[in-house]
Amino acid sequence: MMQFGVPKETVPGEARVATTPDVVKKLVGKGLAVLVERGAGDAAGYHDDAYQQAGATLTDAAGALGADIVAKVRKPSTDEIAALKQGAVYLGLLETCEDDGTQAALLAKHIQVVQLERIPRTSRAQSMDILSSQANIAGYRAVIEAAAHYGRFFPLMMTSAGSAKPARVVVLGAGVAGLQAIATARRLGADVHAYDVRPETKEQIESLGAKAIELDLGESGAGEGGYAKELSDQAKAKQQQLLADELAKAHVIVTTALIPCRPAPVLVPEEVVERMREGSVIVDLAAANGGNCPLTEKDAVVVKHGVTLVGHTNYPSMVPGDASAFFAGNIANLLGIMLDNGDDGPVLKDLDEDDITQAALLRAE
């Protein structure tokens, strides 16, 4: 019987798990033997007894990592790669912008690696798109963090003691995270404005009840696969100049502008922070790539020029229950195109025969 293994995450602060009891039940029903490391789901609120009741077998790290198919949330460590079975299938985020030997170590063991960050953004692959499902959670949680650090109300408040105007929130970037941030801030009653270098996002921004900030940069930032591309130096300078006045009026700024494997573009320079009202908040979702604001400090919350800058880098882990459920659902859908029904249970297909797994397969350069 083909085994599907889920080890406990070992990166400090990571609370997610790659599968949940609900998904385990479905996988067992399809004939997979599911091996879950003891305690793997504790931080996300999924405990061992729930996995057992769903049909999983509890094991240690070696048992989970030794399965035919292994799924993890975060990049495998050297020890975890050593524990993988020769020729196994590995599903996970490799976080491979920098070559640290992870890819070579996996290929040396003839592991078939499906890099989850390389799942194409197509209609058919949407249910497997882990980057989008987790970015959705990040956009939501970013606004919750902003509201927690902002010392005033988000909505218009009218009481017998007086009234308060709604917070002016500016969201930079209208990708998956940005659109969810817009929607969440609107639900909290804020006056929301948003900007994206891709002109086609205007309709999406306005459909959520926000106001689109339009700037004439002389070029488009629309890239391939639904992602933004890097602007020219001239367009970047013009963007900063035109954005500055809009940003200085904001009470809360949520920045989401990321270009895969490139330093984050500077959208909120220090001179803009200096102009913002004391007590304002900037939540910088690009903190891991240097930040859209150069004053942001990775994995820290700091106050500079009277403005609170939030630089957390793992927002989905702050909502671990739902983030794990979304992740597990994406994995289950991916397994649906990877496996066929054989006489003795599921069998692995040729991963090069499907356009989704073909695009995501790790290959030697």
Same domain (yes/no): 103, 234 = no
pLDDT by 10s per residue, the chain, length 365: 999 999 999 999 999 999 999 999 999 999 999 999 999 999 999 999 999 999 999 999 999 999 999 999 999 999 999 999 999 999 999 987 777 889 999 999 999 999 999 999 999 999 999 999 999 999 999 999 999 999 999 999 998 888 899 999 999 999 999 999 999 999 999 999 999 988 889 999 999 999 999 887 766 655 555 555 677 777 777 777 888 988 999 999 999 988 777 889 899 999 999 999 999 999 999 999 999 999 999 999 999 999 999 999 999 999 999 999 999 999 999 999 999 988 888 999 999 999 999 999 999 87
Same domain (yes/no): 168, 246 = yes
121 in catalytic set: yes
Q: How far is CA 331 from the centre of its chain?
A: 15
CB contact at 8 A, 59 and 51: no
Is residue 240 exposed (0-12), middle (13-18) or buried (19+ Cβ within 10 Å)? middle
Same domain (yes/no): 22, 92 = yes
103 in catalytic set: no
Flag whether 203 is in a domain: yes
Q: 227, 240, 354, 358: which one is catalytic?
A: 227
Q: 52, 126, 127, 358: which one is catalytic?
A: 126
Q: 3, 103, 112, 132: which one is catalytic?
A: 132
What stretch of H or E contains 159?
strand 157-159
Flag whether 126 is in a domain: no
126 in catalytic set: yes
Look up the CATH number of the domain holding residue 351: 3.40.50.720
Q: Which two tokens stand for residue 324?
A: 């794990």
Supply the range of the domain harboring residue 350: 3-118+319-360
- DSSP tag of 222: B
Flag whether 365 is in a domain: no
Flag whether 329 is in a domain: yes
Same domain (yes/no): 219, 142 = yes
358 in catalytic set: no
Same domain (yes/no): 100, 144 = no
Q: How far is CA 300 from the centre of its chain?
A: 18
Same domain (yes/no): 310, 166 = yes
Give dist(CA 210, CA 250) in Å, integer: 14
Same domain (yes/no): 31, 168 = no
Question: Tokens 């922070």 identify what position?
Answer: 273
Same domain (yes/no): 210, 298 = yes
Give dist(CA 98, CA 328) in Å, integer: 26
Same domain (yes/no): 213, 261 = yes
Question: Tokens 């929607």 identify what position?
Answer: 183
CB contact at 8 A, 282 and 273: yes
Q: What's the total number of domains in the chain?
A: 2
What are the start-end ranges of the H helices in 150-201?
176-187
- Distinct helix (H) and strand (E) counts, the chain: 12, 17
Flag whether 305 is in a domain: yes
Task: Sort strands 191-195 and 112-115 into parallel, antiparallel or unpaired.
Answer: unpaired
Closest CA to 65 of 103, 105, 9: 9
Same domain (yes/no): 181, 261 = yes
Flag whether 124 is in a domain: no
Same domain (yes/no): 171, 290 = yes
Flag whether 125 is in a domain: no
Same domain (yes/no): 163, 300 = yes
